[in-house]
Amino acid sequence: MLKPDPEHPIVPLTLAQARALRYAAETYPVPDMRLRYRVIVAVLLTTGVRAEELCALNRRDLHRTGPGGQPALWINGKGRERRWVRLVDWVLALIEEYLADRDAADANSEIAVRGQVSAKPADRPLLASREGKRLEPQQITDALRYLCRSLLRHGATSSTVRAHAAAVRAIADTVHPHAARHLYAIAAEAHGIPIRQISRDLGHATLATTEAYLEQGHQLAGTAAPTLSDLITAGEDTTEWPGRSTN
């Protein structure tokens, strides 16, 4: 069974944190970065792919009509094992908008150099930096943390922004793309998706790994801590304790 790193355990994202990350990406003020951030967040949250898998995708791996006629990504997973992951329509639309913007920027800045051979469009990375370089997994982690911090720096009085900022405050310096995979597994199980399908979606080699994801998510669900707290504090009137204000 998969055991979490005792120094750096992966804590699954909550749905509130997932929504906050999506809000931060959707409202990011710099247009080209907003388009890239939207794709990163949406794909991680709705497919459960690893950061390494997301970075390894080429344009040819995006299939508008995959198995069963559904949009899909052809993932190159661990051990070079290939698998399909479904893309929902709104995420495909975000990817299409991002790619169209990138192509327009490339067309405006392209300079022909003697002897230079450009990669065929299909071989180009699906996600790239402004310079056209393939993103690295650490850049995916950095993007999530930057989005969290952008909410904390927002300084707006909107109740929506305050709620999203509160949701990510505790994870702004530690959030990791793997936390989205854990949320994917836990939310899928909670809504009746069979564990074998969840395992296929996530590209796990064995069901034991998927079971470990789910077990980590359930570890505190039945804890006795609240019961013990109620027993210990039952009937207490702390206002009479020394140093407690009665105002």
Specify the pTM.
0.86
75 vs 56: CA distance, rounded Å: 8
Q: What percent of the chain has pLDDT over 70?
A: 88
- Predicted confidence at residue 25, as pLDDT, reads 97
- Predicted confidence at residue 63, as pLDDT, reads 95
244 vs 178: CA distance, rounded Å: 44
Structural domain boundaries of the chain? 15-109+118-219
Model confidence at 41, pLDDT cuts 50, 70, 90, reads very high
- Predicted confidence at residue 122, as pLDDT, reads 78
- Predicted confidence at residue 111, as pLDDT, reads 44
55 vs 40: CA distance, rounded Å: 10
CATH of 15-109+118-219, one of 1.20.1260.10, 3.40.50.2300, 1.10.443.10, 3.40.50.300: 1.10.443.10
Whether the predicted pLDDT of 46 surpasses 90: yes
How far the first Cα of the chain sits from its last, in Å, is 53
Whether the predicted pLDDT of 1 surpasses 50: no
186 vs 14: CA distance, rounded Å: 10
Other Cβ atoms less than 10 A from the Cβ of 52: the count is 14
102 vs 97: CA distance, rounded Å: 9
- Predicted confidence at residue 117, as pLDDT, reads 40
Whether the predicted pLDDT of 169 surpasses 90: yes
The average pLDDT across 181-185 equals: 95
**Strand ranges in the chain using DSSP code E only, listed in sequence order:** 62-63, 72-76, 82-86
Q: What is the DSSP letter of 209?
A: H
Model confidence at 80, pLDDT cuts 50, 70, 90, reads confident
Q: 30 and 241 in contact (C-beta within 8 Å)?
A: no
Residue 61: exposure state from Cβ atoms within 10 A (0-12, 13-18, ≥19): middle
138 vs 141: CA distance, rounded Å: 5
Among the ranges given (113-117, 206-210, 226-230), the one the predictor scored with the smallest mean pLDDT: 113-117
Tell me the per-residue pLDDT of 103-120, one tens digit each, with 9 for 90 and over. 888 777 654 344 334 455
CA atoms within 13 A on the CB side of 130: 5
- Predicted confidence at residue 170, as pLDDT, reads 95
- Predicted confidence at residue 116, as pLDDT, reads 39
Model confidence at 172, pLDDT cuts 50, 70, 90, reads very high
91 vs 96: CA distance, rounded Å: 9
Buried (b) or exposed (e) across 124-153, using 16+ Cβ within 10 A?
bbbbbeeeeeebebebbbebbbebbbbbee
